[in-house]
Chain A
Amino acid sequence: MSLPFLKRDLPVVIVCVTGVVMIIGYFIQAPEIYLGDILGNLSLIASVIAGYATILGILTLAIVHVKHLSKRTQGQWMYSVLLLALVLAMIGVGLIGTLGTHPYFMWFYQYPLVALDTTIYSVLAFYIASAAFRAFKIKSVEGLILAVAAVFVMLMNAPVGAALWGGFPLIGRWIMDVPNGAAFRGFIIGSAIGAIAMSLRVLIGRERGILGRT
């Protein structure tokens, strides 16, 4: 097989064949076209590839940070030391005894990792406040509609809204169910059709941008 075929056409052939098999298996439920085992194996192959890809990712990450460390990149290398040390520590304690069950591993998981994770998540409250401050500036008719709708929806969700006036929850719910619901459905229908068209272009090898081709 020539190199251009291996580089250009083989990935498209693999994507097309596996994609078509998965589609047939999903949509056609006939006993004479039983693809259960093939579908299961394809899903398993995808999981194995994703597993190896994670190892590749960790290696890439390690290479990037070892480079920072060896070059003593200003403002970066000390974080690289910390990252590499923590990655090695996490892998080390994870390998003790039965995979991922040792108390040391659980401590690393429960205290530093969960705490850091929730910290980043909680910072979102401040980002929402700053984004909302800009979004709700009334500069146009659309901005006014947005701000008024937002006030009703916020008062629907906050207990003080119902305490002030019983109409706030009703109007807020109507905004969410009717105009918002209608827009959401239109959005979802359009997105779903777009996703199907995109997937078909990928399956038949027409979407060349994903392989960097023009």
Chain B
Amino acid sequence: MKGKVSKMRSLAGLQAIPESIGKAAETNRPVHYTPGTVGFSGGVVGYAAQTFAGLSVLSHVSKLTAKYKVPLYVTVAYGELIPVVESVVRESYASEGRADAVSTETHVLYFPIALSNAPYASGVLGLFERIKPASNIMIGGFYFEALAISEQGFVQGAIQIAGTAMTHQIAFFVAACDYTLIGEEIFVAGAIVSQDATLLGSITGQDLLKIIVIAMLVGGFILQNLGVDFLSIMKV
């Protein structure tokens, strides 16, 4: 496998991102992006990884908004995300030679979470009423606000691309959005858009690990039914 990059299947949701931003440019309406509402320190392992995945795709999205000169609104629910998001957006605009447009064309808005995610949700719903986005991209970890925001995006006529690894929110995204990245797809999205050979190689490694896990599941099932205590062996 050395020196060879595996072929990746295309993800419809990722392919739709340039199209949705193009629509925003044509209709002179902005793009809304959110890297989720779980921040960097969620209570469950994998929450921070979802936020990282969201930031990785934001890098791609902000390059496209810089290229097409489309206003970009990024909403965050945690204060610690503000400098990170600003840095990602600034670097992306600089890489497109439009560093001067960051202060006029991009907006990083903070809608803090209080008792629940309701303040964030209501902030984004209000924002949608005012800016009427042509494209709504949501990649990261979400709670109940996933449905509220995506339904409001539907009402505003936005092309909606969403992705999460939160099991209970996937169904809402599938129902309300035009394109959905399901579970692990969000973790590979950044690698696919970057086309970086090392990152693409890590996806191949991911798939190999999946094959090993599936083989262990099937093998374990067979061994357990043959009277070999496979579960006890695995606990050692």
Contact = CB atoms under 8 A, between A and B. Distances in A.
A117 B121 CA distance: 10
Contacts, number: 185
A136 to B, nearest CB: 9
Interface stretch (B18-26, B74-82, B222-230): B74-82
Contacts of A121: 116, 118, 144
A212 B148 contact: no
B118 A194 contact: no
Interface stretch (A29-37, A97-105, A166-174, A200-208): A200-208
Contacts of A85: none
A197 B147 contact: no
Contact of A117 (B48, B63, B115, B126): B115
Contacts of A50: 39, 41, 78-80
B151 A127 contact: yes
Interface residues of A, number: 59
Nearest to A133: B175
Contacts of B52: 198-199, 202, 207, 210
Interface residue tally of chain B, by bracket? 35 or more
Given A56-B83, A121-B116, A209-B194, A190 B183 contact: yes
A194 B89 CA distance: 25
A163 interface: no
Q: Please indicate which of the listed interface residues B90, B108, B187 has the most CB atoms of chain A within 10 Å of its own CB.
A: B187
Interface of A: 46, 49-50, 52-58, 60-61, 64, 75-76, 79, 113-114, 116-121, 123-124, 127-128, 130-132, 134-135, 184, 187-202, 206-214
Interface of B: 39, 41, 45-46, 48-50, 52-53, 55-60, 62-63, 76, 78-84, 87-92, 95, 108-110, 112, 114-116, 118-119, 121-122, 126, 130, 144, 147-148, 150-151, 165, 167, 170, 172, 174-176, 182-188, 190-191, 193-194, 196, 198-199, 202-203, 205-206, 209-210, 213
18 contacts: A50-B39, A57-B78, A64-B109, A75-B130, A123-B148, A124-B147, A131-B175, A190-B183, A193-B213, A194-B185, A197-B187, A199-B52, A200-B202, A201-B191, A210-B52, A211-B88, A212-B92, A212-B95
